[in-house]
Amino acid sequence: MATSSTLTEYWLHRVVFHFEPDHPVGKRFHFMIHGVHHDHPNDRLRLVMPPSASIPLAALFLLLFHAVLPNGGWQAFAAGFLAGYLAYDMLHYYVHHFVPRSETGKKLRELHMRHHFQDHERGFGVSAPYWDRIFRTSLVTRKTR
């Protein structure tokens, strides 16, 4: 389940959240689901994606799982997938608003802050930066002494 959640996190962030439409309605929708997060990354009161967008998106994933997985299996897969998404969302909030103490946490925070403040066209794997290495969208980390 973790692989499917982190891979979905990566591709949604890269393809959907960073797609910039030309139409004014599309621009407004994009701003609501992700643009506001990039404009105000330090605002503790702004969700990564508002419930008005995340609930329908979750429902679409559930319908997809129901359609392609066997009866009984899709519910277990969906539970693991949604738990993975919640873990990602909590980690994402944490790297924005707290200072991690572990080396892993510090690296995840550094990479994500670089995504926000240096190069928003790279570094899409918030909880799983290995997808950035695989798909060649990695950010360069500074070396610690």
**In which residue are the tokens 């969208």 written?**
137
φ, ψ dihedrals at 55, nearest 5°: -70, -50
Q: Which residues of 110-133 are buried (b: 16+ CB within 10 A; e: fewer)?
A: bbbebbeeeeeebbbbbbbbebbe
pLDDT in tens, 76-106: 999 999 999 888 889 999 999 999 999 999 9
How large is the average pLDDT for residues 36-55? 76
**Percent of the chain topping pLDDT 90:** 41
pTM of the model: 0.81
CA 63 to CA 27: how far, in whole Å?
27
125: closest CA among 51, 46, 17?
Answer: 17
Q: Which residues of 57-83 are buried (b: 16+ CB within 10 A; e: fewer)?
A: eeeebbeebeeeeeeeebeebbeebbe
CA 91 to CA 64: how far, in whole Å?
25
pLDDT in tens, 14-24: 888 888 888 99
By the 8 A CB rule, do 74 and 66 touch?
yes
